[in-house]
Amino acid sequence: MGVLNVTPDSFSDGGEFFGDPARAAARAEEMVAEGADIIDVGGESTRPGGAVIDAGEELRRVAPVVAALARRVAVPVSIDTTKVEVARAALDAGAEIVNDISGLRFEPALADEAARAGAGLVLMHSRGTRETMHTLAPAADIMREVTEGLRRGVAEAERRGVGRACIALDPGVGFGKSHGQNVELVARLDALAAAFAGMPLLVGTSRKRFIGALLGGAPAGERLHGTMATVAAAVLKGAHVVRVHDVRAAVETARVADAIKAVNGEW
């Protein structure tokens, strides 16, 4: 899953494609050429301290990009949003997946839109609100917290008509977790795979702060190799989808990790 942020303030690529749908679409085409299977379009930054915007502003950012991609790329387009209005418009414009960082905690009716469109739905674990999630004290048992939170999200999605086959799960690395807990989630991803057998797992570690911390304070632009280490570990531990900024490197990393898994008959 290739990341395409059309925001002015995302932690890694903020401003790069903001206000320029043509440039954003060109970047999406480049990611597809590099091997991306999904393009994930986001119009609101989720970085610590990022500005919370209303649905109207988010739509102004993402709608022209989603519409352009629906015409120009042959892979599914995902809309990264927590807002019903934005999800509805994006799905109507051609998006095929809704990626909800709140796991339906913020606006549960998001699942209604996914069900209506027959779309995929990614449920991510997070804690708190947009304003507080990055300042909360760490949970006492992060694996239990994530497992229980994802179970609640799945139950709500199914209650609203989303088929289990349409749901993917994301443990939410970097969202309300300590650096150590982020590492633990990757290291113990196989436990989540066992808890949710048959459901795809999506992992997004790309350029995140815990990698910078492990690398002695490396800034976002210098976390490529650390990111690829987490991609390899995630694939070996059961991830089905990795959400990344650096698509070519991730495709090559995942290909080698898959070959290693195949030796043990796990692929």
Cβ atoms of 198 and 238 closer than 8 Å: no
Residue for token digits 């690395």?
Answer: 173
Please say if 152 is a catalytic residue.
no
Residue for token digits 């954003």?
Answer: 24
Please say if 243 is a catalytic residue.
yes
Tell me the two tokens of residue 39. 């393009």
Cβ atoms of 69 and 28 closer than 8 Å: yes
Q: What proportions of the chain, in percent to the nearest 5, are helix, strand and coil?
A: 45, 10, 40
Distance CA 40, CA 141 (A): 30
Distance CA 250, CA 129 (A): 30
* The Cα angle at residue 251 between residues 247 and 257, in degrees rounded to 5: 140
Which of 127, 177, 209, 243 is an active site residue? 243
Distance CA 50, CA 45 (A): 6
Cβ atoms of 37 and 30 closer than 8 Å: no
Which three-class secondary structure state does DSSP give residue 155?
A: helix
Which of 208, 209, 223, 237 is an active site residue? 208
Catalytic residue numbers? 208, 243
